Every structure is written in C-alpha cells, then in structure tokens.
C-alpha cells in the first residue's frame, strides 16, 4: 500500500522547515525563533516527542557547525588566507551565531530523518490497525 506522504515529500518538507505530515509551516510558534510547537496546529502531529528525542538535532547542529563553518575557517587560517587573530575571532563569534541560525533547520532535519526511515509513523500514513497504546505510532 503506497503512503499518502512519500519519502520525497518528507525530505522536501524537512529541508524547508515544514511539518512532515501536512507540509504546513507549523513546526515553530509564530513570532518565535526557538520555541517548537508541541503539536502541529494544522494536522495535530506530535512535534515535541519523548524527552531526549531532539538530542540528535543538537548533534546534527554541532556537526554541521564543525564541518561547514569551523573547518573552513581553520583551513583559511592554515593556508594563510586570513590571519590567526582573525580566524580566532571569526571562529569564536561564528561558533555561537552559526548554531543559533541553524537551530530551526537542525530540528526540522532531525524530524525529516526520523520520518524518512519510519514513514508509517506519520498520521497521514497510518495503516488502520490497533497501535496498542503507543503514541509514537
């Protein structure tokens, strides 16, 4: 049985910070940068899952900051393109600013990764069977 929400749709929605279930721009509370909605206001998908679920998004944010921001700064300093003092200042400021700017994407990408591998957990893709009380199914 084909899923109502395909893996390609899950990836597209994840990359654009949208709800993986309905595609609405509802992951974050309106007017806030860091507050995630508990549930999607449009479709009811549980966004804030079990305690610790989003630890993976923190690791993702850390890894992207290291690979995409700090490593290039370090390489530019090593090659002599920028001075050591400039590299330290850029790395120091960037190691705080970059993760804050990437926060929303890391949360969305973590949800995208989860539902990419278990698309049957999306309410739109649920098969009409008993879930034996597990709210994650």
The verdict on residue 132 lying in a domain is no
Domain count, the chain: 1
Range with lowest mean pLDDT among 45-59, 67-81, 119-133: 119-133
pLDDT at 3: 82
Q: Is pLDDT above 70 for 132?
A: no
Domain containing 109 equals 7-125
Q: Is residue 131 part of a domain?
A: no
Statement: residue 9 has pLDDT above 90? yes
Please compute the mean of the pLDDT values over residues 105-119 and round it to a whole number.
Answer: 93
Split at pLDDT 50, 70, 90, the class of 2 is confident
Q: Is residue 135 part of a domain?
A: no
The encoded tokens of residue 66 equal 């290291």
Identify whether 137 is part of a domain.
no
d(Cα 18, Cα 34) in Å, to the nearest integer?
A: 15
- Please write the tens of the pLDDT for every residue from 15-40: 999 999 999 998 999 888 889 899 99
Q: 3-state SS string over the chain?
A: CCCCCCHHHHHHHHHCCCCCCCCCCCCECCCCCCCECCECCCCCCECCCCCCCCHHHHHHHHHHHHHHHHHHHHHHHHCCCCCHHHHHHHHHHHHHHHHHHHHHHHHHHHHHHHHHHCHHHCHHHCCCCCCCCCCCC
Answer yes or no: is 37 within a domain.
Answer: yes
């Amino acid at each position: 049985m084909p899923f109502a929400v395909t893996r390609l749709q899950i990836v597209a929605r994840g990359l654009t910070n949208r709800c993986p279930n309905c595609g609405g721009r509802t992951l974050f509370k309106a007017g806030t940068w860091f507050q995630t909605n508990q549930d999607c206001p449009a479709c009811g998908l549980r966004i804030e899952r079990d305690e610790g679920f989003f630890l993976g998004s923190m690791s993702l944010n850390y890894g992207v900051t290291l690979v995409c921001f700090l490593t290039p700064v370090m390489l530019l300093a090593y090659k002599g393109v920028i001075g050591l003092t400039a590299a330290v200042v850029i790395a120091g400021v960037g190691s705080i600013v970059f993760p804050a700017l990437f926060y929303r994407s890391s949360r969305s990408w973590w949800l995208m990764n989860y539902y990419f591998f278990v698309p049957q957990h999306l309410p739109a893709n649920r098969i009409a069977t008993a879930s034996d009380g597990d709210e994650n199914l």
